[in-house]
Structure 1
Amino acid sequence: MIPIQDILPRRRVPLITWGLIAVNGLVFFLEVSLPHHSRELLFQYLGLIPARFTHPDWAAAQGFPPGAFLTLFTHLFLHGGWVHFLGNMWTLWIFGDNVEDRMGHLRFLLFYLLCGLAAALTHLFMHPDSTVPTIGASGAISGVLGAYFVMFPFARVIVMVPVFFFPFFFEVPALLYLGYWYLLQVFSGTLSLALPGEIGGVAWWAHAGGFLAGVLTHRLFCRASCGYFKDEEVPWGPVVSYFDRLNR
């Protein structure tokens, strides 16, 4: 299922969401302007490599400079290709504005970075010996999805499902779409642990860790009246208000 858009109005301009997309875009265009060898070096030095933390002797022998802790954040602004970049930014565009709307600009930025850090630490814990650079904003964006999952469970998300090259569009609750997405990350991450060799490709456990961080910490960053849904925003407002009161 590919998300197309959510049906949930925002009340404020999402300056941080747009700013994060702009910064990631600038960094990505810098990446693609570099020669292949320079781009690989950029990923090596600014990407998240767990072995730099768990095997400092190996890192020193490979010529890595000090400052591995900085990569816990720098890897969030690097992407491996157009599909990777556009997929992440599209997801942030769809779900980030409403979460920022409820948190406020500065709180949302801090929340985003915290979830990115939690995702990185989860990946490091699950794959401590990996020497493959992990890059991408998906860990932090997963935290945004986790917050959205709890804050707007009844929001409707339009998704596209390709069937034999024909696109079909459906409207599903965020609770169903994001719940399915999270379970897919956990299942794929568990499967990856059973596979031999280096871990590459998708950092499933980083996604799962970021999502859980968003679920568990989003309340710390909400305004005093975080609001969740207002009765007038959805046709089943009274039902949502009941769940909102349970969460307070």
Structure 2
Amino acid sequence: MNGLSRGINSTPPVLKNIIIINILLFLATEVLTKFGVNLTQYLALYYPGSEYFRPHQLITHMFMHAGWAHLFFNMFGLWMFGKILEQVWGSKRFMIYFFATGLGAAALHLLVNYFMISHAMGEYKAMLNTLSPETFDAFIRSNFSEYYGALNQELTDKWYSNPGSAQLAADAQGVAKLLMDRMINIPTVGASGAVFGVLLGFGMLFPNTEIMLLFPPIPMKAKYFVMGYGAIELYLGISQPGSNVAHFAHLGGMIFGFLLIKYWNKKTTTFY
């Protein structure tokens, strides 16, 4: 217990408060859900075209999480690397860095979503203008490949066998609209973007510090760890555009962290 107390007490103030807020909001979300209150709908980040979007979500989504594991790994990574950055930079600069990288992550994530949704919406409208089994099949394959196999079995194959069916055409139109609504209304939660920014900051300040990996359990210099993680996120973001993980948000946190540190390094006369 004394070791745990010392660990908590040695955590710098801004980092400690960020972790506490994340934990409290997660617990509040779990409790309020039982009473029919969906806190995620108010505080998660929605695409600006969604009816649920509110400007404050650009900040509040950083303090929301999808589950215990999501919360734990984000807070553990933030604590492990963030406490060192706050001790080196001071609390004010660390707080600015945390929110700047979190906002940068949200900005890149929303930009990527804009291109994805705009592309899908264009194909959706084109499909409606020439609705057929072929155009529906192409629309699903291009934009919702994760549902392609199930829809082939449940709807598309039947429609190919009976292309004149008004009911199957209506069903296909309804499915397409449902998928578009889902794409627009997917909420984004988590401090991951800012955590990746903190990881990048640690790698830039202490590039030759060795980090012990969990899988596989081998040591690796921080600079190589950061570069490897960034490469993985870029690959996954490109290869898995429909993933539930916001890979480009992670990259956004790293990119904005890099730019901010480079800017600060040029302004050596101003340090918070």
SS at match of 1:160: coil
Counterpart mapping for 1:1-248 below 5 A = 14-35=12-33, 38=36, 41-50=38-47, 53=48, 55=49, 59=51, 64=52, 68-128=54-114, 129=117, 130-161=184-215, 169-193=217-241, 199-220=242-263, 224=268
* Contact 2:65–2:71 (Cα < 8 Å) also in 1: yes
Unaligned stretches of 5+ residues in structure 2: 1-9, 118-183
Letter in 2 for 1:212: I
Bigger radius of gyration among the two: 2
* TM-score (ref. length: structure 1): 0.71
The amino acid across from 2:218 in the alignment is F
Report SS of the residue matched to 1:34: helix
Q: Give the superposition deviation at 1:25.
A: 1.1
- Tell me if structure 1 keeps the 8 A contact 2:33–2:39: no
Contact 2:209/2:222 (8 A) holds in 1: yes
> Take 1:103 and 1:210, find their aligned partners in 2: how far apart are those partners?
18
Residue in structure 2 matched with residue 240 of structure 1 by the alignment = none
**In 1, Cα distance between equivalents of 2:42 and 2:240:** 25
Amino acid paired to 1:211:
M
SS at match of 1:109: helix
Distance 1:221 1:29 in 2: 36
Distance change (3 Å), C-alpha of 1:72 and 1:212: same
Separation in 2, partners of 1:69, 1:86: 27
Give the total of aligned pairs: 192
Identity %: 30
What's the secondary structure of 1:118's corresponding residue?
A: helix
Rounded Cα–Cα distance in structure 1 between residues aligned with 2:36 and 2:233: 31
Q: Pick the structure with more helix per residue.
A: 2
